[in-house]
Structure 1
Amino acid sequence: MTATSTTFDPAVYGITPGAAGDIAATPPGGQHQTDIAVIGAGPVGLFSVFEAGMLKLKAHVIDALPHIGGQCSAMYPEKPIYDIPAWPKIEAQALIDQLAGQAAPFDPVWHLGQQVVSMARDTDTGDWLVGTDKATQIRAKAVLIGAGVGAFGPNRPPLTGIEDYEERSVFYRVARKEAFRGKRVVIAGGGDSALDWAIELADIAAAIMVIHRRPKFRGAPESVAKLHALAAQGKIELVVPYQLHGLEGDPAAGRLDVVTVADLDGNVRRLDADILLPFFGLSMNLGPILEWGLALDQHHITAEPTTMATSLPGVFAIGDIARYPHKLKLILSGFAEAASAVHAAREICRPGEVMHFEYSTTKGVPGA
């Protein structure tokens, strides 16, 4: 069989392009009641809304960001993802749009731009009372924590005056590849993000220079091979072993002219550049989650792998924030965890109610 397309086309699925951006958040404040409170609106949290809807459970979703999508939307909306089943290649934002459309028939309630700051159990009813920093309180029978890495932000390189260039010529994410067309781009880092964007921008940018402190890169072997192949073709320059040393340009205008780099002996090189993309990972902060009495393992929430149950009754952890033996930090693993957690949560939300398991092909979805 020949694949005719690897491009995501939302219209094929009846999903409005940019559906994630059309979501209207509920005004902050007030009292709410639901079956499941989902903390985190990344891809795994979004899929849990669909799973809940298929079991006739209502969901409220809370996220500190003003939009859904988590890291996929905030950090790399145009980054291609290759390990989503049935999609040889799909951009991160397209995946979020698809998940938003998949959840839409079940009318989730969105509480965006709000951080969950408290979670307490009503000892009389067993419900959980979830409170946000915007005075919103949600009473839920079960809670799914899909907060990814918690509050996150890029690790900033220690360069004097870098703040003057940020979001003008220094960027910690690639929101739109076309913005770098014809530019001289310096990419710093040796992990997957640095390699992926060097490869993606090689045919768009006027020049790509990759800085790393050692000749060996930490990315996926296939990506490393592609990087070296592009370097052999003259499409990428590997500046190794060097580290970022300084920035030159017009700070008042945010215009970058030169990135200086230095090797371990202190020898300095000047690289003519318009753009610097430093990819040194994310700083992660679980914030108030640390105070909720959950069993933790190295700032991750310990979960039972068959149900994703945590040490607190009625509270489940899914996605990157969850930890158990042989855990794989993949979106597709998170999807399976969401399904397991929602099915376990159903026993709490509908105690004693017999469920006859049906496949989605049999049940369909509302409006289909």
Structure 2
Amino acid sequence: MAPVDPSSDATVVETDAVVIGAGPVGLWQVFQCGLLGLRCHVVDVLPEVGGQCIELYADKLLYDIPGLPPTCGRDFAAQLQQQVQPFEPVFHLGCQVTALTRQADGRFDLSTSGCSQVLRCRHVFIAAGVGAFLPRKLTLAGLDRYAPASVTYHQLPTDGVSGRHVVIVGGEDAALQMAVDLASGSDGRSDNDRPASVTLLHRRDQFSSDDGILLARFDLLRRSGLLQVCIGQPVEPVESDGPGGPVLAGLRIAPPEGDEFTLPLDRLIVCLGLSPRLGPIADWGLVMERKQLTVDTARFETSVPGIHAVGDVVTYPGKRKLIACGFHEAILAAFAAAERDRGGPVPLEYTTSSKTLQGRLGVRDSVTNAS
């Protein structure tokens, strides 16, 4: 396991457990830990809760969630998030766990990118699905030197877009939505914080979306001239001299036909989709099989005691990559962690009758079912 960077600026925050991954199984892990009295912090590289439900099928229906009618991914994630609220988990979104080490007392320290805190806990639950969803990069030599001031991925630059010429790269929903919001002013920005122009750059004049309303808004803005569209492949960045040194001034574009040209810009936002990668977890010394973590199926514990893994990130005989299976795994992992804390078995209680569980859930008035 890689050591935590001993930065003097890092603040140590203590909690019972850290859940890596804020998808459905990660959220259910938080719920099960909460029922057993374990406080959780949750880390996810995405800027919002929901994992694959949000990134891959936000508007598609899930038909196989027990007890729920067909529910879209976005609504399902929202319901799970509401369900964990009584336990007040702390979310660290837009962060990736970069290092993990075990202390002499058996606790773990985890440090993350984009966060100065070190999370110290007794239990780690890896619910990373198929891996952290990281933005696909625009592979142009020298482009990264302009990030994050002039180049960002799936988000606005840190200093905003007021009066700037903004170019968005991509042709799917995320790129279309950002272009429409910026060009139309429907993202809640004031008139004083509007871009000077918005251009969508894509390799061809075809755009992929199942959202008919989004496509209609895009076409209307394009016809009105509020949204420009540039067709071609970027081949190299173009820079100019700025007050503090070279700045990104444009992209050299190779169109489908004709000569190359320069597309001027002040801010570049790359929306080329997300790619799952296991990331630093692969370097923690955990036993793996075909890029998945092996676990003891009685406790869903990895080869390192105290580190559990659930969901699509694990493998074992008979494993099925289904949300319902991940929920079962999270329950056993939570009980195993609680038993480790208490040094023995944890009695099974039911939310219908247990005053302890109802108290943790914030239930004030117990409802007795008629027999």
Question: Structure 1 residues 82 and 39 mapped into 2: Cα distance closer, same or farther (>3 Å)?
Answer: closer
| Map 1:28-43 → 2, pairs under 5 A | 28=12, 34=16, 37-40=17-20, 42=22
Offset of 1:59 from its aligned partner?
3.6
Checking the alignment, whether the CA contact within 8 Å between 1:165 and 1:255 is kept in structure 2 is yes
Equivalence for 1:317: 310
Q: TM-score, normalised by structure 2?
A: 0.59
- Which of 338, 343, 350 is the aligned partner of 1:356? 350
- Matched AA of 2:348: V
Equivalence for 1:289: 282
- Which of 256, 261, 264 is the aligned partner of 2:253? 261
Deviates most, 257-266 or 130-139: 130-139
Q: TM-score, normalised by structure 1?
A: 0.59
Checking the alignment, whether the CA contact within 8 Å between 1:309 and 1:341 is kept in structure 2 is yes
- What is the CA–CA distance in structure 1 between the aligned matches of 2:161 and 2:270, rounded to whole Å? 15
Checking the alignment, whether the CA contact within 8 Å between 1:162 and 1:247 is kept in structure 2 is no
Q: CA RMSD in A?
A: 5.4
- Which of 179, 197, 212 is the aligned partner of 2:202? 212
- What is the CA–CA distance in structure 1 between the aligned matches of 2:162 and 2:264, rounded to whole Å? 16
SS at match of 1:211: strand
Equivalence for 2:6: none
Are 2:33 and 1:52 equivalent residues in the alignment? yes
Equivalence for 2:237: 246
Equivalence for 2:100: 117
Give CA-to-partner distance per residue, 1:270-321, whole Å, 9 cap, x none.
3232211122345634224355445555x455899x9995876983324x75
Bigger Rg over Cα: 2
Checking the alignment, whether the CA contact within 8 Å between 2:18 and 2:125 is kept in structure 1 is yes
Long gaps (5+) in structure 1: 1-24, 64-68, 121-127, 328-332
- What is the CA–CA distance in structure 2 between the aligned matches of 1:26 and 1:163, rounded to whole Å? 26
- Matched AA of 2:350: H
- Which of 175, 197, 205 is the aligned partner of 2:178? 197
SS at match of 2:222: helix
| Map 1:1-16 → 2, pairs under 5 A | none
Are 2:222 and 1:231 equivalent residues in the alignment? yes
Equivalence for 2:65: none
Checking the alignment, whether the CA contact within 8 Å between 2:45 and 2:132 is kept in structure 1 is no
- What is the CA–CA distance in structure 2 between the aligned matches of 1:203 and 1:183, rounded to whole Å? 15
- What is the CA–CA distance in structure 1 between the aligned matches of 2:207 and 2:264, rounded to whole Å? 23
Are 2:273 and 1:273 equivalent residues in the alignment? no
Checking the alignment, whether the CA contact within 8 Å between 1:247 and 1:258 is kept in structure 2 is yes
Offset of 1:145 from its aligned partner?
0.7
- What is the CA–CA distance in structure 2 between the aligned matches of 1:248 and 1:58, rounded to whole Å? 52
SS at match of 1:250: strand
- What is the CA–CA distance in structure 2 between the aligned matches of 1:244 and 1:213, rounded to whole Å? 11
Offset of 1:239 from its aligned partner?
1.8
Are 2:26 and 1:72 equivalent residues in the alignment? no
Give CA-to-partner distance per residue, 1:69-97, whole Å, 9 cap, x none.
531169xxxx999659999999x9x9999
Checking the alignment, whether the CA contact within 8 Å between 1:119 and 1:129 is kept in structure 2 is yes
Give CA-to-partner distance per residue, 1:170-208, whole Å, 9 cap, x none.
222425899224432111123332222122222134432
SS at match of 1:179: coil
Checking the alignment, whether the CA contact within 8 Å between 1:258 and 1:270 is kept in structure 2 is yes
Give CA-to-partner distance per residue, 1:222-241, whole Å, 9 cap, x none.
45554344333433222224
Calculate percent identity across the aligned residue pairs.
22
Long gaps (5+) in structure 2: 1-8, 61-67, 112-116, 186-194, 340-344, 365-371
Checking the alignment, whether the CA contact within 8 Å between 2:32 and 2:334 is kept in structure 1 is no
- Matched AA of 2:33: A
SS at match of 1:71: coil
- Which of 325, 345, 360 is the aligned partner of 2:333? 345
- What is the CA–CA distance in structure 1 between the aligned matches of 2:217 and 2:350, rounded to whole Å? 49
Question: Structure 1 residues 164 and 38 mapped into 2: Cα distance closer, same or farther (>3 Å)?
Answer: closer
- What is the CA–CA distance in structure 2 between the aligned matches of 1:221 and 1:103, rounded to whole Å? 35
